[in-house]
């Protein structure tokens, strides 16, 4: 693994940042229910290269809490967010950015940084002695390679006033430069980085120049597969049925039963059912990757100022609850998903046929290519399918058992289908054309495929395959920070609006004149506020600047 972040610095690095990963968090600590926004700056070697980067949230033990993907699309800056669950326990969490070595199918950890998160409903907001945060050591600072100016019309504003800063970015020779920007504005008195004795700009060690050449642009999932008796299902071909695409993907387990599956890009979440090959072994048990190695995690800081923040956080939640609104309403872009199922070779709308009690009788009486054989030895049915277009009497039936897909869940348990009541089934679709089967289901459909749609969707099948489902989050849906606008509460002019995060923008760039402008409204908080700007020039240099102002 190639780690890019050193958590505790003993000295300030003098190396340029063009070959480093840098993470800009919108603030230095969080409370459950809030959204953590971030910008990931990548080394210049990533420029014009497309790489899929997984952002994984881990607890202090390395247990995965959430993950999603970012795609660089040739850029050296990508941004994302993590909506913190209300029930998350207090602790120092880690956000790790990683990719996959496309040749070795192994994880390449690029950078990780810590996320102190407090649950303000746990009752930990009590006064403590001492003013400094305990346990969080100051993280590495980086050389400031750019000169950034933040201009305000004045340094004093009133509540709900509109603020319009102007940013100018220059190199050390005084020449204006085009740059990517990430900007955060916070209530410095209640959430400033001084409370944590650390900065919300986190940086790391150099990344080797050829690292990007080994990284994949595909999304992926990882897991472990064992046989029902506990032994690793080692060196075996596995199928992964995508219920969204109605398609089977291929992968193979290694000597330890671990597997990696490359997945075409998609948005939102998607479930994949891992299938064992019937000629090898079907009774497999699958678990998704749920633990990742992390560097040493520091203890959660706590002091009087943090206790005060948690008290204010609870009060804000009560205000928003009182007015039936939320503090940070996350709205994401909508993406269409089209399911491209193959056209069946035969289709039956069940209500159009004579009613029988069980599906085994329906298939027998209507002489479909799907048949059932009753086994006296164990009183069960075995499903078999044939291709009616095959005129040869020899080997008319496919040799193995067909793949049965009931409400998007896959099984080969013919007995389950045979005993389904006909009144529960809406539609039956049969696939037996080998060219079509190979394109859609590969080897796993070589004995035919039967798709069953029921009136009331079956939650799960009473078979082992239903438990081998892995759900992964794909490319994170684009979202915009919900900047406060007084017009949004104009219907109730007495409603107060408080929020420690006023503004976040990771999608702002300067032009060749080095300038960029943005605007936002103040909330009802009277305090000292801080604007932090991080900039990355086209040649990879990184600079940062902060400025404070007062609201009375």
**How far, CA to CA in Å, does 433 sit from each of 181, 285, 408, 538?**
55, 31, 20, 54
Task: Give helix then strand counts, H and E, for the chain.
Answer: 5, 33
**Residue 531, in any domain of the structure:** yes
**How far, CA to CA in Å, does 149 sit from each of 165, 516, 528, 537, 545?**
10, 11, 19, 15, 7
Task: Give the torsion through C-alpha atoms of 379, 384, 388, 394, to 10 deg.
Answer: -100
**Residue 58, in any domain of the structure:** yes
CATH number at residue 452: 2.170.130.10
**Per-residue exposure over 466-503, b if at least 16 CB sit within 10 Å of its own CB, e if not:** bebbbebbbbbbebebbbbebeebeeeeeeebbbbbbb
**Residue 10, in any domain of the structure:** no
Given this model, what pLDDT does residue 396 score? 78
Of 164, 163, 169, 132, whose CA–CA distance to 149 is shortest? 169
What's the total number of domains in the chain? 3
Last residue of a domain, one of 398, 431, 463: 463
Based on the domain organization, do 268 and 400 belong to the same domain? no
**Residue 8, in any domain of the structure:** no
Based on the domain organization, do 251 and 298 belong to the same domain? no
Given this model, what pLDDT does residue 193 score? 73
Based on the domain organization, do 430 and 312 belong to the same domain? no
Based on the domain organization, do 311 and 431 belong to the same domain? no
Q: Give the pLDDT means over successive 10-residue stretches in the chain (552 positions).
A: 35 54 91 94 94 96 95 96 94 93 89 91 53 46 84 95 96 95 94 71 76 94 91 94 91 94 92 88 89 84 85 84 72 77 90 89 89 91 87 72 92 91 93 90 92 82 79 94 83 79 95 94 94 94 94 94
Based on the domain organization, do 196 and 67 belong to the same domain? yes
Sign of CA dihedral 366, 372, 376, 378: negative
Sign of CA dihedral 213, 218, 221, 224: negative
Of 236, 233, 273, 232, whose CA–CA distance to 252 is shortest? 236
Give the three-state DSSP class for 423: helix
Say if residues 143 and 12 touch (Cβ distance below 8 Å). yes
Say if residues 40 and 476 touch (Cβ distance below 8 Å). no
CA–CA separation, 83 and 330 (whole Å): 8
DSSP lists the bridge partners of residue 89 as: none
Based on the domain organization, do 366 and 418 belong to the same domain? yes
Residues, the chain, total? 552
Q: Which two tokens stand for residue 406?
A: 């009931």
**Residue 468, in any domain of the structure:** no
Based on the domain organization, do 256 and 184 belong to the same domain? no
Last residue of a domain, one of 434, 463, 492: 463
Q: How many CA atoms lie within 13 A of 181 on its CB side?
A: 28
DSSP lists the bridge partners of residue 204 as: 5
Contacts of 11 (CB under 8 A, 6+ apart): none
Range of the domain at 81: 17-214+293-331+479-551
Based on the domain organization, do 498 and 362 belong to the same domain? no
Based on the domain organization, do 253 and 311 belong to the same domain? no
Sign of CA dihedral 125, 127, 128, 134: positive
Last residue of a domain, one of 463, 488, 510: 463
Based on the domain organization, do 182 and 230 belong to the same domain? no
**Residue 152, in any domain of the structure:** yes
Of 367, 478, 465, whose CA–CA distance to 416 is shortest? 465
Say if residues 377 and 359 touch (Cβ distance below 8 Å). no
Based on the domain organization, do 350 and 491 belong to the same domain? no
Give the three-state DSSP class for 378: coil
Tell me how crowded residue 320 is: count the other CB atoms within 10 A of its CB: 20
**Residue 12, in any domain of the structure:** no
CA–CA separation, 136 and 61 (whole Å): 17
Q: Which two tokens stand for residue 21?
A: 């990963």
In degrees rounded to 5, what are phi and psi of residue 68? -155, 170
**Residue 4, in any domain of the structure:** no
């Amino acid at each position: 693994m190639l780690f890019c972040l050193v958590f505790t610095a003993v000295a300030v690095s003098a190396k340029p940042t063009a070959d480093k990963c840098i993470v800009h968090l919108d603030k230095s600590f969080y409370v459950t229910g809030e959204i953590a926004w971030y910008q990931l700056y990548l080394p210049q070697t990533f420029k014009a290269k497309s790489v899929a980067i997984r952002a994984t949230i881990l607890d202090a033990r390395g247990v995965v809490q959430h993950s999603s993907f970012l795609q660089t699309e040739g850029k050296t800056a990508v941004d994302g967010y993590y909506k913190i669950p209300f029930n998350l326990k207090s602790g120092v969490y880690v956000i790790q950015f990683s990719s996959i070595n496309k040749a070795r199918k192994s994880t390449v950890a690029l950078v990780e940084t810590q996320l102190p998160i407090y649950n303000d409903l746990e009752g930990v907001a009590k006064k403590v002695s001492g003013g400094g945060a305990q346990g969080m050591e100051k993280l590495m600072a980086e050389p400031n390679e750019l000169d950034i100016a933040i201009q305000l019309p004045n340094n004093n504003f009133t509540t709900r006033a509109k603020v319009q800063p102007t940013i100018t970015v220059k190199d050390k020779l005084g020449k204006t430069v085009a740059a990517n920007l990430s900007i955060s504005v916070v209530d410095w008195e209640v959430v400033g980085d001084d409370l944590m004795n650390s900065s919300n700009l986190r940086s790391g060690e150099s990344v080797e120049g050829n690292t990007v050449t080994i990284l994949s642009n595909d999304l992926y999932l990882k897991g472990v597969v064992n046989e029902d008796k506990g032994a690793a299902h080692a060196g075996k071909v596995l199928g992964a049925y995508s219920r969204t695409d109605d398609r089977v993907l291929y992968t193979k387990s290694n000597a330890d039963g671990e597997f990696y599956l490359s997945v075409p890009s998609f948005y939102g979440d998607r479930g994949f059912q891992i299938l064992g090959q019937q000629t090898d072994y079907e009774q497999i048990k699958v678990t998704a990757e749920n633990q990742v190695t992390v560097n040493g995690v520091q203890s959660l800081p706590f002091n009087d100022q943090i206790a005060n923040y948690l008290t204010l956080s609870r009060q804000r939640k009560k205000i928003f609850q009182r007015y039936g609104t939320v503090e940070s309403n996350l709205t994401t872009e909508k993406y269409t998903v089209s399911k491209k199922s193959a056209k069946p070779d035969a289709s039956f709308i069940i209500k159009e046929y004579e009613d029988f009690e069980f599906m085994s009788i329906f298939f027998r009486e209507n002489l479909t290519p799907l048949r059932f054989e009753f086994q006296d030895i164990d009183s069960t049915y075995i499903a078999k399918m044939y291709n009616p277009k095959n005129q040869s009497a020899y080997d008319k039936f496919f040799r193995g058992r067909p793949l049965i897909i009931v409400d998007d869940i896959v099984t080969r348990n013919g007995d389950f289908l045979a005993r389904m009541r006909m009144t529960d089934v809406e539609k039956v679709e049969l696939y037996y054309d080998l060219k079509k089967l190979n394109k859609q289901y590969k080897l796993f459909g070589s004995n035919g495929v039967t798709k069953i749609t029921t009136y009331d969707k079956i939650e799960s099948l009473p078979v082992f395959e239903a438990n081998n489902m892995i759900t992964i989050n794909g490319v994170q849906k684009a979202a915009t920070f919900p900047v406060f606008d007084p017009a949004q509460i104009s219907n109730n002019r007495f409603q107060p609006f408080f929020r420690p995060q006023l503004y976040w923008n990771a999608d702002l760039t300067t032009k060749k004149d080095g300038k960029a402008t943005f605007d936002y409204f103040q909330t009802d908080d009277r305090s000292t506020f801080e604007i932090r700007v991080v900039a990355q020039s086209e040649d990879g240099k990184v600079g940062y600047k902060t400025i404070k102002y007062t609201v009375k």
